[in-house]
Structure 1
Amino acid sequence: MKKGSIDKTLIIAVTILVIIGLIAVYSSTSVLASVKAKYADKGGMIYLQKQLFTLIIGFFFIVVFIFLPVTKLKKLVFPLLIISFIMLIAVFSPLGVSAGGARRWLRLWPSVFQPSELVKLAMVFFLAWYMSRESYNKESIKDFVIPISLMGVFQIIFLKQPDFGAVMTLGIITFVMLFIGGVSLRFLGLTILLAIPVLFYLAKEPYRWKRITSFLDPWSDPQGSGFQLVQSLIALGSGGLTGQGLGEGKQKLAFLPEIHTDFIFAHIGEEMGFIGVCVVVILFFFICMRGLNIAAKQIDPFCYFLASGITIMISIQALINFAVVTGLAPTKGLPLPFISYGGSSLVVNLIAVGVLLNLSRFDYKADFTELTLQKKNKLRTYRYYYKGRKFS
């Protein structure tokens, strides 16, 4: 197993996205920071300064995880689960922070943290470990119920916050990972059928149903349930091919709510135009392709599922954000990885990239004296020998 250099395409794509994010955060918040009472005396760069602070933390974790021995990654599974669960519960304690009618944040000096972001990564680690066990049987109902039950526990807590975006994202990540793990389609299909009436029950309130379905025709209520999407579409449409220019956008002048967080993609479209939007989409495409390429090179099942899961986590969040901002999906609060303002999402996604870069450093095809493939319990189990030492 030869150590090589990190995946340069991946690190370049992520770096460019982060730079675009810093530019977009500053451009979209400079006016907001100047008029907001608690930031009025701090100038228009306070949001950028906060984002830079969390970026430094994120890059520190990237370095840590790049050089962390791969064998240590498995040992992080349960600590991550326990820490994320405790933090998620602590949101309802005096340490929790409420905003916009939701209680999703935990006060950690000098800022706040959103535990749901860490839960997504913890679930990816758990599923990678769970499906890579020798005793795992993809045809066993018990081995299917355990991860689904864990997902359900987290989703119930998300609903209490409430955070429907996290519920949807965690569900998609879990189902896609189980699918690539070869879980029976009967199990997945039955779970989806059982989930449908639950979703309808949760959305039965008229105001909630109207908000969910408003994306189908936002112009029918442009000042109410469709307001945010209408303003997002106006931002995208007014950008044209090359955009209105950095700092020249109008939607950040209190027209588009959450323009620096969930709807920063619309801001990029307004100020950087169709070209800027295409650059962002292409960069995410490169990240997805490099992540899948890294996963395909893994021999250890845990590393394969971990690389696949991280790639799925980042890609799904980006796709959902694109869909919401362009009116292809219901409006839900979900940040755009590496770009949206918010330390929780940025740090967790940079940690995930650090893990991917770690896995990209190894050439598993070199120096092996023997490689055997064995099927057990209908799961492909890999056993290999490296310089006389047995790994499995």
Structure 2
Amino acid sequence: MTQTYVPPFSRSDQSLLARWFWTVDRGLVIAAMVLMGIGVALSFASSPAAILADEGLSNPFHYSIRMIAFVAAGVGVMLGASLLSPRGVRRVAAFALVGALLVMAVLPILGNEAKGATRWILIGPFSLQPSEFAKPALIVLAAWMFAEGQKGQGVPGVSIAFAFYAVTVGLLLIQPDIGQTLLITTTFMAVFFMAGVPLKWMAVLGGLVMSGIFSLYFLFDHVRERVAKFLAPGQEDTHQIDRASEAIRAGGLFGRGVGEGVMKRHVPDLHTDFIYSVGAEEFGLILSLVIISLYAFIVLRGLSRAMRLNDPFEQTAAAGLFMLIGLQAAINMAVNLNLIPTKGMTLPFISYGGSSMVAMGLTMGLALALTRRRAGAYEPGTGRRPAPKLGRILP
């Protein structure tokens, strides 16, 4: 019997990859991969200058080579995670969060200290930052627990979500990592709000968060120092942010040209936290706007698809993950532009760093998995589900 030839990736092809191709949001996949490509390109611009700060390295493209490996791993994780079902997303998030918290718990004993913080654990030639993986995992688990709490079947979803949040934040403050704490708190609050919490509870939670932020100012010396540098730049040592600002201004509209940047030689952490300033100097405002547009596209398109989902868990989890990417990008660029005090936070998909790149791949992959077109996932027409009644999430 003659079999009919089915071209690969045609609509009649029922293979796993073909089904993925026709159900995933390819625009979001392309946008994320373009950002990763920009990250690789900027690593070649920043690596030779970054090597000057590390006397133990001789290869000028040491960081570039590693960046290519990190991007390959990030792409693999993103595509692999995007194949998951919603149940698979929950399972991966649960395992990732528990694993990340366990590693974070032993950091004070086995962790590697750098710049006054113990956030990494060394694994051979690589360093692992578990908090990067705790971020997307916590957001997915919180959305899951909030959704379970809405069902009214006796599951204390809100209590479980806040317990995991409290443990995560507590371990972050021990390191200490204030930037990640604020990012997780903001995204967690957004997920809590989208789950249908009464506004009075949001006001209470917002007050507690503001009190916590105010307390951090008095509890941590480096927080006070960074706030002082931001508020009184002429009276404090602001070498790092000053050099980054000079690099951005020097780039102008079209930049100095590929490899022609000079300010990057004086910008600390230029290949990680301040990679944005490197790109702005060599490629100008044009590249800056391209980068901002790509992040805006990912967030707005992602939120648009998330809000059309039927399932409360899928909706809030996907929206929370896209917001996590957007908020982290906004914080990093705001620091580079001297709009907020400095924070040790990478630019998603672009900054050098294995943990950051793989974790961002996981974040994007989980969001893509939740927003894939599946039978019954989206309502016909607008696809928007009615907002849950106020107070439904709480007992």
Q: CA deviation at 1:30?
A: 1.4
Structure 1 residues 19 and 77, CA, compared in 2 at 3 Å: closer, same or farther?
closer
1:230 is aligned with what amino acid? D
Question: SS state of the match for residue 171, structure 1?
Answer: helix
Any residues of structure 2 matched to 1:38-77 within 5 Å, and which? Answer: 38-40=56-58, 43-77=59-93
Per the alignment, residue 166 of structure 2 pairs with 152
Contact preservation (8 Å) 1:218, 1:227:
no
Alpha carbons of structure 1 residues 327 and 145: separation in structure 2 relative to 1, 3 Å: farther
Flag as ranges the 4+ runs of structure 1 deviating above 6 A. Answer: 366-369, 373-377
Q: Which runs of 5+ in 1 are unaligned?
A: 382-392
The CA deviation at 1:185 is 2.2
1:105 partner SS? strand
Name 1:214's counterpart in structure 2.
229
Q: 2:194 — aligned with what?
A: 180
Letter in 2 for 1:47: Y
Q: 1:84 aligns with which of 78, 95, 100?
A: 100
CA distance in 1, matches of 2:368, 2:71: 17
Following the alignment from structure 2 to structure 1, what is the Cα–Cα distance between the partners of residues 163 and 200? 17
Q: Does 1:28 align with 2:46?
A: yes
Deviation at 1:14, TM superposition (A): 1.0
Q: Is the 8 A contact 1:67 1:358 kept in 2?
A: yes
Say if 1:360 and 1:196 are closer, same or farther in 2 by CA, change over 3 A. Answer: closer
Assess if the C-alpha contact under 8 Å between 2:149 and 2:158 holds in 1.
no
Counterparts of 2:52 and 2:99, CA distance in 1:
37
- Cα offsets for 1:45-73 (capped at 9, x unmatched): 11011111122222221232122233322
- Over 3 Å counting, the alpha-carbon distance change for 1:363 and 1:279 in structure 2 is same
In structure 2, distance between residues paired with 1:146 and 1:329: 33
1:229 to 241, 248, 271: 241
Q: Of residues 18, 23, 31 in structure 2, which corresponds to 1:13?
A: 31
Structure 2: runs of 5+ lacking an equivalent: 1-18
**Partner AA of 1:175 in structure 2:** M
Q: 1:123 Cα shift?
A: 0.8
Report the CA distance between 1:152 and its aligned residue.
2.5
Among residues 96, 106, 129, which one is paired with 1:114 in the alignment? 129
Question: Is the CA contact 1:374–1:380 (under 8 Å) kept in the aligned structure 2?
Answer: no
Equivalent position amino acid for 1:281 in 2: I
Change (3 A) 1:117 1:262: same
> Is 2:367 aligned against 1:356?
yes
Preserved CA contact (<8 Å) 1:244 1:271: yes
Normalised TM-score (structure 1): 0.86
Normalising by structure 2, report the TM-score: 0.85
Kindly report the root-mean-square deviation, in angstroms, between the aligned alpha carbons of the 2 structures. 2.9
User: What is the letter of the counterpart of residue 124 of structure 1?
Assistant: I
Distance 1:187 1:303 in 2: 23
1:153/1:136 CA distance change after superposition, 3 Å: farther
**Correspondence for 2:213:** 199
Q: 1:265 to 1:22 in 2, by over 3 A?
A: same
Q: In the alignment, is residue 263 of structure 1 matched against residue 274 of structure 2?
A: yes
Distance 1:144 1:359 in 2: 21
Work out whether 1:272 is the aligned partner of 2:286: no
Alpha carbons of structure 1 residues 360 and 321: separation in structure 2 relative to 1, 3 Å = same
Relative to its length, the structure with more strand (as a share) is 1
Distance verdict in 2 for CA 1:360–1:186, change over 3 Å: closer
Q: 1:28 to 1:92 in 2, by over 3 A?
A: same
Q: Distance in 2 between matches of 1:311 and 1:115?
A: 20
Change (3 A) 1:290 1:231: same
In the other structure, the counterpart of 1:104 is 119
Q: Following TM superposition, by how much is the alpha carbon of 1:148 offset from its aligned partner in structure 2, in angstroms?
A: 3.4
Q: Which secondary structure state, in structure 2, belongs to the residue aligned with residue 39 of structure 1?
A: coil
Q: CA deviation at 1:144?
A: 4.7
- Structure 1 residue 249 corresponds to structure 2 residue 261: yes
Residues 294 and 356 of structure 1 are in contact (CA less than 8 Å); yes or no, is this contact kept in structure 2?
no
Q: Which amino acid aligns with 1:351?
A: L
